[in-house]
Amino acid sequence: MTLTPDQWLAVALSLKVSLVATLCSLPFGVVVAFALARGHFWGRQALNLLVHLPLVLPPVVTGYLLLRLFGHRGIAGAFLEQFGIVFAFRWTGAALAAAVMAFPLVVRTIRLSVEAVDPRLEQAAQTLGASPPWIFATVTLPLILPGILAGAIIGFAKALGEFGATITFVSNIPGQTQTLPTAIYSVLQVPGGEPQVLALVVVSIALAALALVLAEWVGRALARRIAGV
């Protein structure tokens, strides 16, 4: 069973949403990962809790909170609408929901990479007179780059499969907010739609598997390059 044009549109929208979600959340993920890995400040545990909350909350709850905050009547939503930025019931809202749900995985992956860096390497560069930005660009960043890219790809895969928060926040509007998971949900409600469901599931599994394989390959390739192998 081949996919219908609307279903291919849902696949394309899923890829678009996942890519935007990943690109927008990645810089924040790097900053937060560094703060949690090396920071010593008041509220660090609260930040850690806030970052990881979407992992343990039901996705529907996260979507409802996004709707309350970024909906047309939400504090942030009403403010942003003055500048033409709308999230509720738009694909941009789907990207926001996907970014929020994937963010903990991005941060955790990058944080592990930051914690694996030997501080003595940075200290050696500092003793040679290198400035903190230069140390980050020439020592720290190359060492954590595999973790950053792996986090980005894992976040992309997570965003690709996001369902609960998305359907709660932006609904399931074909051609506008319907992503691959919500398209599967829609077809499941139609009697006799099992062949199309199977086709969509195969596409979903293929995309997720490709993202995970790519993350593994990129991580190993960068690790070998950094090691000079």
> What pLDDT score does 226 carry?
59
Does the pLDDT of residue 122 top 90, yes or no? no
Inter-residue contact 141 to 3 (CB < 8 Å)? no
Among 108, 115, 96, 207, CA closest to 150: 108
Q: How far is it, in rounded angstroms, from Cα 94 to Cα 99?
A: 9
Tell me, what amino acid is at 24?
C
- pLDDT class of 213 with cuts at 50, 70, 90: confident
Q: What is the pLDDT of residues 47-56, one digit of tens each?
A: 999 999 999 9
**Dihedral of the CA atoms 213, 217, 220, 225 (nearest 10)?**
-160
b/e map of 71-85 (b: 16 or more CB within 10 Å)?
A: beebeebeeebeeee
Q: What is the pLDDT of residues 14-65, one digit of tens each?
A: 999 999 999 999 999 999 999 999 888 898 899 999 999 999 999 999 999 9
Give the chain's domains with CATH numbers: 5-227 (1.10.3720.10)
> What pLDDT score does 116 carry?
86
Supply φ then ψ for residue 4, to 5 degrees.
Answer: -80, 165
Q: What is the pLDDT of residues 151-187, one digit of tens each?
A: 898 899 899 989 999 999 999 888 889 999 999 998 8
